[in-house]
Amino acid sequence: MQLFYAPDMTLPEYTLSEEESRHAVKVLRLTVGDSLHITDGRGNLHLCEVISDAPKHCTVRVVSTEREWERLPYRLTMAVAPTKNIDRYEWFLEKATEIGVEAFVALECEHSERRVIKPEREMKVITSAVKQSLKAYHPSLEDMTPLSEFVRRPFAGRKFIAHCAEPIVGKAYLGSALHPGENAVVLIGPEGDFSAEEIRLAVECGFEEVTLGRMRLRTETAAVVAANIVSVVNNM
């Protein structure tokens, strides 16, 4: 399957962007009559037929549409402190998108080593992962958000904070605390972990303290492991 992403998808006909047209015609060598798939990132998977193979204006006609294609039984938000080395954070975005995440939040913490990201660049990483892993749902990305602001927001689901410090209330393994079908948000801190004050605030705001296992993990590894645990719980 050749998957293209078009958030502005129109029916019954649609013209790919110049970049996507070039990829379809010049790289994939698609011609009139060939098929490709397009998703709008909102769960719709369109099977399309090429009706014009112009290198800069490749136009397709929708043949059929599958709604809510491979929709996950849960919604996961990963609020993660970006790493100093942005490549490591982008690796997390890529892998977590492949696993299945609804939303990403770049979390600004007391010990954060990076306090600025480039949302447009990070969205390209996410979009590439969506297309490569054949997803019909495109995760959203929220720019740098202070932890103190984020933890106070309402959330319809379970709220978890994974940290390495001594527990305030008590820690459970994420895979044991979460039940299949539950929506969840997971907080992952920077390399220096959350501060004691941040953990206390999160707990006061209803976040449950969790561990991801016995191993001490780097930020991006912990974030991918957390996303995978949630996926495994929902696929048992």
Q: Are residues 158 and 93 in the same domain?
A: yes
pLDDT at 35 over 70: yes
Domain finish residue from 48, 66, 84: 66
How many CA atoms lie within 13 Å of 57's alpha carbon, on the beta-carbon side? 1
Q: What is the pLDDT of residue 186?
A: 98
Please give the average per-residue pLDDT across 19-47, as a whole number.
Answer: 95
Chain segment 53-104, per-residue pLDDT in tens: 999 999 999 999 999 999 999 999 999 999 999 999 999 999 999 999 999 9
Q: What is the pLDDT of residue 1?
A: 84
Distances in Å between the alpha carbon of 179 and those of 1, 42, 66, 129, 173? 33, 25, 28, 27, 12
Q: What is the pLDDT of residue 236?
A: 63
CATH number for position 49: 2.40.240.20
Chain segment 129-152, per-residue pLDDT in tens: 999 999 999 999 999 999 999 999
Domain encompassing residue 33: 3-66
User: For residue 199, is it within any domain?
Assistant: yes
CATH number for position 96: 3.40.1280.10
Q: Are residues 117 and 180 in the same domain?
A: yes
User: For residue 41, is it within any domain?
Assistant: yes
User: For residue 71, is it within any domain?
Assistant: no
Q: Are residues 164 and 226 in the same domain?
A: yes
Starting at the earlier edge strand, list the strands of the sheet with 76-80: 140-146, 103-108, 76-80, 184-188, 158-162, 208-211, 172-173
Q: What is the pLDDT of residue 118?
A: 96
Q: What is the pLDDT of residue 215?
A: 87
Q: What is the pLDDT of residue 46?
A: 97
pLDDT at 216 over 90: no
Q: Are residues 36 and 152 in the same domain?
A: no
Q: Are residues 149 and 171 in the same domain?
A: yes
Q: Are residues 101 and 160 in the same domain?
A: yes
Q: Are residues 54 and 101 in the same domain?
A: no
Q: What is the band of 2 on the pLDDT scale with cuts at 50, 70, 90?
A: confident
